[in-house]
Copies of this chain bind each other. A is one copy, B any other.
Amino acid sequence: MTRARPARGGAVTLALPWPVWVPAIVGFGLIAVPVAGLVVRTDWPDFGALITTDAALDALLLSLQTGLISTALCLLLGTPLALVLARSNLPGLPVLRSIVLLPLVLPPVVGGLTLLFLLGRTGPIGQLANDWFGITIPFSTPAVIIAQTFVAMPFLVVSLEGALRTAGERYEIVAATLGASPLTALRRVTIPVVLPGLISGSVLAFARALGEFGATIAFAGNLQGTTQTLPLLIYIQSQNDLDGAVAMSLVLVVVAVLVIVATRTRDASGVR
């Protein structure tokens, strides 16, 4: 006889149907086993030395900085965009929605090239920036952030939109009848209610930004300390030193797990 498992507050957690477990385990394995392979392949004796080179430390720091800034930008720009997609009734919404998804479909290198065409020294916007402010966007840290934001934003937008639709707008309606302006309702009701979706979305965006390679190298270039994020270093390294690349991939993986577990632990203690 199946046993109901007790959970906090005395509420029973419903049992998951057993046919769910088999594919769940297969799916998990599909992801976890190759990653475990990475761990196995790592050259542990030299691990410390491999990951504490100047270049590796620079890249790690830059990756964390740009990843967090990009995630913040995604939140800042992507949350409103998700709201528009989920809650407005603009004409042509399905088309807008699929345009937002394009950075996902574009091979990242092509994405980087499109950014370069636009913001490069001879691009329509890049030229203005260059002529007026003397700024060259490519080859700079801001370029890394732009590239990461470009590729990561759709993740936030799409998963937040899904959560907004699932949540519905009944609480927002209640807020309106209590006199809350749309902005207040957004801040004090909508956002807290869809917090799980917002967190999922941010985690996705952060992970994607952290792992971003193609668009960055195509648009921002690859210079230690300025634009060389960890994935770029890993890729370049993998060309002649696979052990070093594997070791650094592991660092990337560990950093990602740490940041995500930290975020999620906060979430779990919050509101359902």
Contacts and interface: CB of A to CB of B under 8 A. Distances in A.
Given A101-B257, A159-B204, A163-B166, 12 more contacts: A19-B80, A19-B183, A24-B77, A26-B77, A37-B114, A37-B124, A97-B261, A105-B211, A110-B231, A154-B204, A158-B200, A163-B163
Interface residues of A, number: 123
A71 B40 CA distance: 29
A167 interface: yes
Interface stretch (A133-141, A190-198, A220-228): A190-198
B13 A87 contact: yes
A21 to B, nearest CB: 7
A213 B107 contact: yes
Given A167-B166, A265-B94, A14 B87 contact: yes
Interface string A229-272: 00100110010001001100100110011001100110010001
Interface of A: 5, 7, 13-24, 26-28, 30-35, 37-38, 41, 76-81, 83-84, 87-89, 94-111, 113-115, 117-118, 123-125, 146, 149-150, 153-155, 157-163, 165-169, 172-173, 176, 181-183, 185-186, 193-194, 196-201, 203-204, 207-208, 210-211, 213-214, 231, 234-235, 238, 242, 245-246, 249, 252-253, 256-257, 260-261, 264-265, 268, 272
